[in-house]
Amino acid sequence: MGWDICQAVKQLSLPGRKRSREIDDRSDKFSWDWAKTMNESHPIAGPIAVLDSGLGGLTVVNALRRVLPAEDLVYFGDTAHLPYGNKSPATVCRFVRQIVRFLLPMEPKHIVMACNTATALAMPEIAAEFPQLSISGVIEPGARAAVAAAGSMRVPAIGVIATEATVRSKAYERAIFRRRNLARVMLRPTPLLVPMIEEGRTGDDPLVETALRQYLQSMILRKVDVLVLGCTHYPLLKKAIAKVIGPQVQLIDSAEQCAQDVARRLARKGLLGGEVNTPGELGSPDDTAGMDGPEPATGSLRTFVTDDPDRFAFLAARFLGMEIERPTLVEPGELAGDVPHESAEPPLRVAG
């Protein structure tokens, strides 16, 4: 793949740049002991809603069920429009806006954009249109963890693999350099990985292994110290990626970091609905099987998709390590129209 795009950057100055609503630097300093005391209050009703372009966000659902096992979850997979990674910002914003409008009647206490592309391209606009909602994404938690993993290295080399749209957005660069002025940040689009994962291919598939070796070659040559898995699909290939990149490179799982970030946010707002499992209690999740937490999840899980619910249910078992009920089909044409939030909304209908 001769169009290798890998950018090495030492410093990035961002004077006057408006900070995204996803950013919450206080999350860098947080007491898990304090968070665990928050569940002594009355549980807060309302589910945590998770949205993604397809199956990848289920890695976030899996992590959330480990960190917050008592929380009810709603998942919306926009399978009719997969992938988001090769679409324009305006198109991604339109899709995300429609999904958020669909979720409103469920009164979610928090919405997670469990898609790096949606987070990079749609977060500021959607947060501004729905100021009454608590919304977060996956980029800031991943960048925070990458900087922490770099530790005391003078000029760490931090690599990011992601979709083409996420790489073009430079969202990871900005998030990393907000926390560390001196670093080498290398970005590599990996467009074939999401379709292969959605096809059900695993890390031991020869095609997956060939693609990973091609994509990661530039990172290996530049001797990255930390590698961010900048797409929520990629944790399913974590073992294969580690095998190719080498044991000396620390891998950052954006799904795990996102779940911990959601717990922090809910704790600060007094919105926790039950038990919180701290990072030290979670162990090391497997990349292709269910992430067994210290306690089985007791919260409910409802799923919605815009295409092929039977296929989604079949493949979801690989992401969650368990079978799920058949998702509810929401036809794309039945989602709310792409109009400003303040305008009159057409009635919401769900096709079962």
The burial class, CB within 10 Å (0-12 / 13-18 / 19+), for 89 is middle
**How far is it, in rounded angstroms, from Cα 320 to Cα 318?**
6
Instruction: Let me know the angle formed at the C-alpha of 194 by 92 and 79, rounded to the nearest 5 degrees.
Output: 50
**How far is it, in rounded angstroms, from Cα 129 to Cα 341?**
6
pLDDT for 295: 61
pLDDT for 350: 37
pLDDT for 214: 97
Which residues are catalytic, by number?
115, 231
pLDDT in tens, the chain (352 residues): 444 444 444 444 333 334 444 444 444 455 545 455 545 544 567 999 999 999 999 999 999 999 999 999 999 999 999 999 999 999 999 999 999 999 999 999 999 999 999 999 999 999 999 999 999 999 999 999 999 999 999 999 999 999 999 999 999 999 999 999 899 999 999 999 999 998 999 999 999 999 999 999 999 999 999 999 999 999 999 999 999 999 999 999 989 999 999 999 999 998 998 888 876 554 444 443 444 444 678 899 999 999 999 999 999 998 999 999 999 999 998 886 655 544 334 433 333 3
**How far is it, in rounded angstroms, from Cα 304 to Cα 161?**
28
Tokens of 346: 């057409």
pLDDT for 126: 97
* Total-model pTM: 0.82
Query: Would you identify the CATH topology of the domain 25-137+256-334?
Result: Rossmann fold (3.40.50)
Tokens of 206: 């020869």
Query: Would you identify the CATH topology of the domain 140-253?
Result: Rossmann fold (3.40.50)
Q: In one letter, which amino acid is 25?
A: D
**How far is it, in rounded angstroms, from Cα 297 to Cα 290?**
12
**How far is it, in rounded angstroms, from Cα 168 to Cα 217?**
20
Residue with tokens 């919450």: 24
pLDDT for 45: 75
The burial class, CB within 10 Å (0-12 / 13-18 / 19+), for 342 is exposed
Write the CA distances from 349 to 169, 205, 294, 327, 345, integer angstroms: 34, 40, 38, 15, 12
pLDDT for 297: 84
pLDDT for 281: 53
Q: Is the dihedral of CA 72, 252, 290, 167 positive or negative?
A: positive
Tokens of 11: 């410093």
> Among 66, 28, 50, which residue's Cα sits nearest to residue 286?
66
Q: In one letter, which amino acid is 225?
A: D
pLDDT for 275: 82
Q: Judge whether 229 and 252 are in contact, CB under 8 Å.
A: yes
Domain spans in the chain, listed from the N-terminal domain onward: 25-137+256-334, 140-253
| Topology match between the domains 25-137+256-334 and 140-253 | yes
pLDDT for 349: 36
Which secondary structure element, helix H or strand E, spans residue 263, and what is its range? helix 254-268
